[in-house]
Amino acid sequence: MNDSPDDVDLEHAPETVLHVGGASPYDVVVGHHLADHLPEMVGDALRVAVICPEALEELVGEVADALVESHPDRDVTVLVVPDGEEAKTAEVANSCWEALGEEGFTRSDVVVTLGGGATTDLGGFVAASWLRGVRVVHVPTTLLAMVDAAVGGKTGINTEAGKNLVGAFHEPAGVICDLSLLETLPRDELVAGLGEVVKCGFIADPEILRLVETTDPDELVASSPVLRELVERAIRVKVDVVVADLRETGGADGHPGREALNYGHTLAHAIERAEDYGIRHGEAVAIGCVFVAELAHRAAGLPREVVDRHRATFARVGLPTTYAGAGFDELLATMRVDKKSRGAVLRFVVLDDVGRPTVLSGPSEEHLREAFAAISGAAS
């Protein structure tokens, strides 16, 4: 008897391989129980440094053992870093560089990141800067990292001035998105990851929005075929954009290129900093996307129904769509040092419609304040 879609055994379903082309091509493997792929991606490297957060110390032991078993002459060093954004500092990066130096890390050796988006950003930056670039393989353990940080080669750390202002473009040698790792992910963390997924729906793939709008949010779990499709679709969106514009120099025919992936991020990063990174990235992105939808409605005529769809879709999966923390003036000061700004001119990725991103340069402060009032509950 043929299995119906609901009866498919995802635990043993074939993995999906998404190829990322360009000057430094690599594969993103999506599926369940993909541990065997890590030794393949690491290859014959005799030294491997696995960077992981404190919360994953038990899992990293299994990873290190597997790497040694696949190559008995291999030396594996585990570098444990703080959890979350606390890892993304110059001090932590320096401690990793010092450890690589002590281990005699050469250009033929490999860094492996095991963790969420912050670990991926940090580990990618360490790999990009050590000897001006050594190979890195990402094993994201959160939904957010799978669809965002692990793919595309952006790396970075934070400074007092803002988030991700120091970094480098450094594409990985491979990415393993093992959905079985999401089985122990706290629900709030999985929901936060959906912020980046829904964002991809608005900027490029309306089918993502349809899937979210027609699926019971409680069914979006690690074993769900819908979640797997959402992950694969979000990664494809990012791959298509990155291949066309790796270094964020702009797209063709008026498309903002890689900047489109920053939809909602200008305000999101400002909120994260204002909250001392106490808010999850995907939560801040959801708020930021609603903000720029409100801004585009006022400044560029985005239809009200598209704005309302932002609120409804993010809220459906449990993400916030309002913010009543820091004030507008504080957030505006942070937004002015956003990476997309040019001199004194603020620039925002906005939509002309679903799937049609563009850049809005120099919106009036009146429109900015009105859009912020609409998400902060201060609108009249």
Task: Clarify whether 199 is annotated catalytic.
Answer: no
Task: Clarify whether 262 is annotated catalytic.
Answer: yes
Catalytic one of 138, 199, 255, 265: 265
85 appears as a binding residue in the annotation: yes
141 appears as a binding residue in the annotation: yes
Task: Clarify whether 164 is annotated catalytic.
Answer: no
Could you tell me how far CA 265 lies from the centroid of its own chain? Answer: 11
Catalytic one of 138, 280, 281, 340: 281
Q: What share of the chain is helix, strand, coil (3-state, %, to 5)?
A: 50, 20, 30
Catalytic one of 171, 232, 248, 259: 248
Cα radius of gyration rounded to whole Å, the chain: 20
Task: Clarify whether 213 is annotated catalytic.
Answer: no
DSSP state at residue 160: T
Catalytic one of 47, 154, 236, 273: 154
Task: Clarify whether 310 is annotated catalytic.
Answer: no
250 appears as a binding residue in the annotation: no
286 appears as a binding residue in the annotation: no
313 appears as a binding residue in the annotation: no
Cα–Cα distance between 103 and 130 in angstroms, integer? 13
88 appears as a binding residue in the annotation: yes
φ, ψ of residue 163 in degrees (nearest 5): -90, 135
Task: Clarify whether 33 is annotated catalytic.
Answer: no
Catalytic one of 262, 272, 294, 370: 262
Catalytic one of 196, 259, 294, 370: 196
Task: Clarify whether 297 is annotated catalytic.
Answer: no
338 appears as a binding residue in the annotation: no
Q: E strands, the chain, where?
A: 16-20, 26-31, 47-53, 75-81, 110-115, 135-140, 154-159, 162-169, 174-178, 347-353, 356-361
154 appears as a binding residue in the annotation: yes
Catalytic one of 32, 47, 199, 238: 238
281 appears as a binding residue in the annotation: yes
Q: Can you tell me whether residue 53 is helix, strand or coil?
A: strand
Task: Clarify whether 19 is annotated catalytic.
Answer: no
339 appears as a binding residue in the annotation: no
Backbone angle region of 49, left / alpha / beta, with phi > 0 → left and psi within -120 to 50 → alpha: beta
87 appears as a binding residue in the annotation: yes
321 appears as a binding residue in the annotation: no
118 appears as a binding residue in the annotation: yes
Query: DSSP labels for 234-295?
Result: HHHHHHHHHHH-TTS---STT--GGGGGGTTHHHHHHHHHHTTT-S-HHHHHHHHHHHHHHH
Catalytic one of 132, 160, 305, 342: 132
Catalytic one of 47, 258, 273, 297: 258
Question: Per the annotation, where are the binding residues for NAD(+)?
Answer: 83-88, 117-121, 141-142, 154, 163
Question: Per the annotation, where are the binding residues for Zn(2+)?
Answer: 196, 265, 281
Cite the active site residues: 132, 154, 196, 238, 248, 258, 262, 265, 269, 281
Question: Per the annotation, where are the binding residues?
Answer: 83-88, 117-121, 141-142, 154, 163, 196, 265, 281
